[in-house]
């Protein structure tokens, strides 16, 4: 299993990023980084020396669920962690972490009333997540509690496949693709007159929390967040909503969430665009009406940190499976690597 597949199959909802963190630590050490973990759980890898500090960030957490209640029949009720469309939940297989020390996994199925028993109105409505349940095969609360606890984290069932040539599909592309890019960037980091910090951040999906803590500690001169963005090359999405396409290169963000997120620093944006043009790296420009990245909180830390975002376009984010083009991943890594010398 290669590193990308290992990252995507690892479980790590917000606040429970342990599996992903262990992989990141191992891989950063392999490429000769100084590695530490802060009190918030962020992994911080450092390479190089110089007057300039550059922070690269990619969040380790994924959207998922958390056990809220166990019924007397042994079924689990849950809350959503991060933004998940209720329509993608019904009949999906999930993996529930077991025990107080989160040492194993139990397979579950998200259940609902079958269509044969639904009244006309029920069949036309989206079933809300609070009306769903998870079946782990337990026959009572007592049996279920031997396996899981209230507060146990839940992820979609791990999956990772080659879809067609350069296209892959899998769980947690948001943002294990960014985590993988971060590792590869540090592996291939050129000699720079700068300290480069690669940070695997925690709890991005629930408020960009880890990035705030890490940025305050590092206090970098510049920052680039590496994340995913929304591809619009599928039916039902208008080009005016998203004209980004997988396979057409990384996206350079201008603005997130109609300005509520990061407004990319002009100097950082210019460096990214000019680097892409000079090195003939395909790229796309991204203006997001919804959604934010770690850059949205990093650039407001302390007295302000000039920040930008390079994102990998994917289809079907925040669900059980996403689709991306590996060429976009390769070009994201290349773009960030080539841009770093202009930030020193």
Q: What is the mean pLDDT of residues 137-147?
A: 94
For position 274, what pLDDT does the model report?
A: 98
Q: What is the mean pLDDT of residues 320-340?
A: 97
Overall pTM > 0.85: yes
In the predicted model, what is the mean pLDDT of the chain? 94
Q: What is the mean pLDDT of residues 311-337?
A: 97
Cα 96 from Cα 147, distance rounded (Å): 9
Catalytic residue check, 204: yes
Catalytic residue among 17, 19, 27, 204: 204
Q: Is the pLDDT of residue 101 over 50?
A: no
For position 240, what pLDDT does the model report?
A: 85
Q: What is the mean pLDDT of residues 285-299?
A: 94
Share of the chain above pLDDT 90, in %: 87
Q: Which domains does the chain have, with CATH numbers?
A: 3-62+171-343 (3.40.630.10), 65-156 (2.40.30.40)
Q: What is the pLDDT of residues 221-262, one digit of tens each?
A: 999 999 999 999 999 888 888 899 999 999 999 999 999 999
Q: Is the pLDDT of residue 102 over 60?
A: no
Alpha helices, DSSP H only, in the chain?
3-9, 18-30, 120-124, 141-145, 173-187, 209-218, 266-278, 295-298, 326-339
Residues 6+ apart with CB under 8 A from 150: 67, 68, 69, 70
Share of the chain above pLDDT 70, in %: 95
What are the DSSP E strand ranges found in 136-202?
153-156, 160-164, 167-170, 193-201
For position 99, what pLDDT does the model report?
A: 60
Counting Cα atoms < 13 Å in the Cβ hemisphere of 216 gives: 12
Helix (H, G, I), strand (E, B) or coil at 298: helix
Residue 122 confidence class, pLDDT cut points 50, 70, 90: low
The DSSP code sequence of 43-85 is EEEEE-EEEEEEEEEEE--B-EEEEEEE-TTSPEEEEEES---
Would residue 165 be called left, alpha or beta, if left means φ above 0 and alpha means ψ between -120 and 50 degrees?
A: left
Residues 6+ apart with CB under 8 A from 206: 14, 15, 61, 81, 82
Q: What is the pLDDT of residues 10-61, one digit of tens each?
A: 999 999 999 999 999 999 999 999 999 999 999 999 999 999 999 999 999 9
For position 272, what pLDDT does the model report?
A: 98
Q: What is the mean pLDDT of residues 76-83?
A: 97
For position 290, what pLDDT does the model report?
A: 86
């Amino acid at each position: 299993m290669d590193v990308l597949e290992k990252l995507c199959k690892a479980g790590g909802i917000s606040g429970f990023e342990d599996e992903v963190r262990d992989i990141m630590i191992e891989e950063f050490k392999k490429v000769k980084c100084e590695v530490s973990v802060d009190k918030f759980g962020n992994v911080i890898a450092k390479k190089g020396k110089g007057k300039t500090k550059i922070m690269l960030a990619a969040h380790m957490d994924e959207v998922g669920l958390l056990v809220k209640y166990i019924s007397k029949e042994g079924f689990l009720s849950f809350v959503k962690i991060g933004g998940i469309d209720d329509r993608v939940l019904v009949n999906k297989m999930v993996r529930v972490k077991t025990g107080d020390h989160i040492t194993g996994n139990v397979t579950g199925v998200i259940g609902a009333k079958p269509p044969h028993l639904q009244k006309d109105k029920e069949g036309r409505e989206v079933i809300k997540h609070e009306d769903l349940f998870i079946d782990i095969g337990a026959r009572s609360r007592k049996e279920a509690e031997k396996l899981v606890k209230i507060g146990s984290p839940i992820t979609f069932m791990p999956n990772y496949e080659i879809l067609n040539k350069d296209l892959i599909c899998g769980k947690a592309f948001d943002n294990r693709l960014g985590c993988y890019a971060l590792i590869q960037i540090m592996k291939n980091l050129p000699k720079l007159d700068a300290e480069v910090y690669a940070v695997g951040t925690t709890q991005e999906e629930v408020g960009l929390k880890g990035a705030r803590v890490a940025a305050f500690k590092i206090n970098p001169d510049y920052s680039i967040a590496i994340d995913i963005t929304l591809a619009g090359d599928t039916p039902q999405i208008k080009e005016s909503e998203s004209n980004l396409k997988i396979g057409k290169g990384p996206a350079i963000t201008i603005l997130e969430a109609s300005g509520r997120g990061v407004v990319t620093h002009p100097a950082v944006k210019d460096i990214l665009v000019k680097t892409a043009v000079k090195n003939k790296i395909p790229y796309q420009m991204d203006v997001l009406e919804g959604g934010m990245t770690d850059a949205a909180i990093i650039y407001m830390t302390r007295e302000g940190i000039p920040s930008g975002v390079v994102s990998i376009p994917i289809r079907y984010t925040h669900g059980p499976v996403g689709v991306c083009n590996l060429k976009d991943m390769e070009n994201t890594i290349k773009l960030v690597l080539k841009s770093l010398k202009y930030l020193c």
